């Protein structure tokens, strides 16, 4: 029971009052919701029935409709797709995810070598990452001097994923940006 004075208001966390075993939903979404911690994008209705402590209905079929729309994932900015990099320590840059200011968020940067015959997508899925950092809080990152250097003339795929403090992606496409590639050419002294 939760006491609310007549004419008063109360903010209630659903976990405190809802028996999730009694909620009706499309069971085909169960695995996705359990895996991601998020409902899929779409139109929803939430209906409640309020009863007093004796079980007498105070309000029935109180419903509200709402829409869940996730923000777009990060967009890669630099190095541009297909660039040849002169610097052995490039700065990787992407756009931020559009979330509320106090929503804790971080980014995962993954870079993998593209082996001959692979697409950049296949390289990120199949190859051991050349470099991975899962604790980035800004939208740019300079490749560290103590990381495994890029091999001149080889191609690399890169991607960024946005995740929340629990590791769940709070955006479309599982929080993953598009996949871009670049060619390392560290023989030049110029810095990009």
Residue 192 pLDDT greater than 50, yes or no: no
| Nearest partner of 177 among 192, 163, 156, judged by Cα | 163
Helix (H, G, I), strand (E, B) or coil at 113: strand
**Phi and psi, residue 129, nearest 5°:** -60, 140
How many whole angstroms separate alpha carbon 192 and alpha carbon 189? 10
Question: pLDDT tens, 68-105?
Answer: 878 889 999 999 999 999 889 999 999 998 887 788 89
pLDDT-derived band at 116 (thresholds 50, 70, 90) equals very high
Question: pLDDT tens, 136-157?
Answer: 999 999 999 999 999 999 999 9
Residue 161 pLDDT greater than 50, yes or no: yes
Q: Do 82 and 53 contact (CB within 8 A), yes or no?
A: no
Residue 190 pLDDT greater than 70, yes or no: no
Round the average pLDDT of the chain to a whole number and report it.
Answer: 84
**Phi and psi, residue 32, nearest 5°:** -65, -45
Please give the model's pTM, rounded to 2 decimal places. Answer: 0.69
Taking phi over 0 as left and psi of -120 to 50 as alpha, with beta for the rest, 117 belongs to left
């Amino acid at each position: 029971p939760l006491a609310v004075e007549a004419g008063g208001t109360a903010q209630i966390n659903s976990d405190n009052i809802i028996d999730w075993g009694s909620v009706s939903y499309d069971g085909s979404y169960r695995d996705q919701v359990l895996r991601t911690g998020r409902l899929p994008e779409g139109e929803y209705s939430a209906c409640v029935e309020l009863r007093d402590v004796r079980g007498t209905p105070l309000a029935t079929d109180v419903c509200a409709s709402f829409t869940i729309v996730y923000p777009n994932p990060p967009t890669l900015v630099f190095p541009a797709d297909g660039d040849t990099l002169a610097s052995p320590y490039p700065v990787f840059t992407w756009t931020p995810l559009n979330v509320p200011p106090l929503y804790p968020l971080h980014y995962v940067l993954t870079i993998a070598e593209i082996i001959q015959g692979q697409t950049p997508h296949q390289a990120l899925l199949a190859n051991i990452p050349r470099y991975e950092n899962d604790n980035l809080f800004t939208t740019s990152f300079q490749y560290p001097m103590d990381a495994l250097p890029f091999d001149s003339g080889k191609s690399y795929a890169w991607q960024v994923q946005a995740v929340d403090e629990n590791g769940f992606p709070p955006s479309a496409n599982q929080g993953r940006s598009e996949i871009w590639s670049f060619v390392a050419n560290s023989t030049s002294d110029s810095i990009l």
